[in-house]
C-alpha cells in the first residue's frame, strides 16, 4: 500500500510518501513552499497543483491529513490553514483518492506511544521506522511522514 501523508500549511506544506508491506519504506518526501509576498489565490493554487501532481506521480492508495486544530488566540492562522487544507481536500477529490484525517495527538500516540510526545520524539521514531540516518530538515516533512506511518499502524491494529 502507498500512503501519502500531508502536513498542511500555507507557507510550508510537508509531504511524505511511504510504501508498506513486509516493512515500511520511504518513497519520497519534501515540502511545497509558498512566499508571503505572493497573493493568497496564487499560493493556494500552487499548493493545489503540487498536491495534484504528487498524487498523479505517486499513486497513493490513501492520503492522510492532519485534522485542523485552532487555538482561540490565533483565529487568522486557523482560517488560513483551513484554506490550505481545503485545496488539498479538493485535490484528493478531483484525483479520486481516499482521504483520512487524524488529530496530532492520535498520530503521536500511534508513533511514540503517548499523545503528548515531543516533536523530537516523533522525529526520532520516524527516522527509526524508516531506517534513515538523518532526521529530515523540516519538521513539516517529519510530521507528514508521521501521519503516513501512523495510518499504517492504526490500520494494522484494526485488521
Max CA separation in the chain (angstroms): 47
What is the CATH classification number for the domain harbouring 144? 3.30.420.10
Per-residue pLDDT of the chain (159 residues; tens, 9 = 90+): 999 999 999 999 999 999 998 899 999 999 999 999 999 999 999 999 999 999 999 999 999 998 877 666 777 777 888 899 999 999 999 999 999 999 999 999 999 998 889 989 999 999 999 999 888 888 999 999 999 999 999 988 764
Tell me the C-alpha distance between 72 and 142, whole Å: 26
Number of H helices, E strands in the chain: 5, 5
Q: Which of 7, 28, 57, 143 is catalytic?
A: 7
Exposed, middle or buried by CB within 10 Å (0-12, 13-18, 19+), for 23? Answer: exposed
**57 labelled catalytic:** no
**140 labelled catalytic:** yes
**66 labelled catalytic:** yes
pLDDT of residue 36: 93
**In terms of residue numbers, what domain contains 111?**
2-158
Contact (CB, 8 A) for 150 and 44: no
Q: Which of 38, 57, 66, 143 is catalytic?
A: 66
Q: Which of 28, 38, 61, 140 is catalytic?
A: 140
Contact (CB, 8 A) for 73 and 30: no
The sign of the dihedral angle between the CA atoms of 147, 149, 153, 159 is positive
pLDDT of residue 70: 66
Q: How many domains does the chain have?
A: 1
Amino acid at each position: 500500500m502507498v500512503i501519502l501523508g500531508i502536513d498542511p500549511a500555507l507557507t510550508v506544506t510537508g509531504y511524505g510518501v511511504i510504501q508498506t508491506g513486509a516493512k515500511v519504506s520511504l518513497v519520497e518526501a519534501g515540502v511545497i513552499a509558498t512566499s508571503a509576498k505572493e497573493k493568497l489565490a496564487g499560493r493556494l493554487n500552487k499548493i493545489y497543483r503540487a498536491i495534484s501532481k504528487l498524487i498523479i506521480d505517486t499513486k497513493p492508495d490513501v492520503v492522510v491529513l492532519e485534522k485542523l486544530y485552532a487555538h482561540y488566540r490565533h483565529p487568522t492562522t486557523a482560517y488560513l490553514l483551513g484554506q490550505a487544507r481545503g485545496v488539498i481536500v479538493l485535490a484528493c477529490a478531483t484525483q479520486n483518492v481516499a482521504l483520512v484525517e487524524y488529530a496530532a495527538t492520535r498520530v503521536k500516540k500511534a508513533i511514540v506511544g503517548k499523545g503528548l510526545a515531543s516533536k523530537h520524539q516523533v522525529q526520532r521514531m520516524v527516522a527509526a521506522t524508516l531506517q534513515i540516518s538523518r532526521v529530515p530538515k523540516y519538521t513539516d516533512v517529519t510530521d507528514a511522514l508521521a501521519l503516513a506511518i501512523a495510518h499504517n499502524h492504526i490500520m494494522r491494529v484494526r485488521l
